[in-house]
A = this chain, B = another copy of it.
Amino acid sequence: MNHPIDMPLGTKDRLIEAAGEVFAEKGFRDAKVRDICARAGANLASVNYHFRDKESLYAAVFEHARRYEQEHYPLESFGTHGAPRDLLAAFIRRFCLRLFDAGRPNWHVKLMSREMLEPTGELDTTVERDIRPTFERLCVIVSGMTGLPPDHDVTRMCSASVIGQCLHYHHCGEVSRRLCREWQEADSFIGDVARHVTWFSTRALEGVRSDVEAGRLPASGEGEARP
């Protein structure tokens, strides 16, 4: 039976929450059903009762995470009015919040990182339902700054540069924690990252725009990559 709203969470939901944490921490294989059940305060058999097996639980966790993200951080539904650089700043700030806001279930992004390293079917679903619309939205914003169409290769790679900078602090968090301990520990961490990425990217895109207007597009595909 479905659980009533505003109740201390039924077993099924507690399992999803606990599973999310454990899957994010340990990965699918290393996550032990016994551990999940213990954290959820549920019996060992409950996973196989409420979900069919461990794998279906994994899928349920992803479904849950996707719904949560879209409800709380709807990145694709940005207003389209305003100066491109303001839109960019707002986008980056929202994106960083989504990445680092520890307010609520903070394991969503880590789960995604794992999927990227070793994709299962869940990645495809998430890309189409979540990532692609977000990325397209960013491309439109960046397009407004470069003066090139949203589907132009340069626009898309510039958008990837923006995303990449933000994600870096997440993916390589363990490394940068070791390189510059102070950063991550600062209360203003999220704001600092967002502000820096905005600054760096804005200046970059201004430079790109003037290059574009001067007709200085880089010739791509030339074989001069190797030293």
Contacts and interface: CB of A to CB of B under 8 A. Distances in A.
Contact of A188 (B132, B194, B221): B221
A176 B160 contact: yes
A197 to B, nearest CB: 7
Contacts of A93: 225, 227
Interface in A157-178: 157-158, 160-161, 163-169, 171-176, 178
B174 A163 contact: no
Nearest to A207: B203
Interface stretch (A3-11, A14-22, A123-131): A123-131
A221 B200 contact: no
Contacts of A172: 116, 163-164, 167
Interface residues of A, number: 77
A34 interface: no
Interface stretch (A23-31, A35-43, A55-63, A79-87): A23-31
A135 interface: yes
A90 to B, nearest CB: 8
A160 B168 contact: yes
Contacts of A195: 218, 220, 225
A102 interface: no
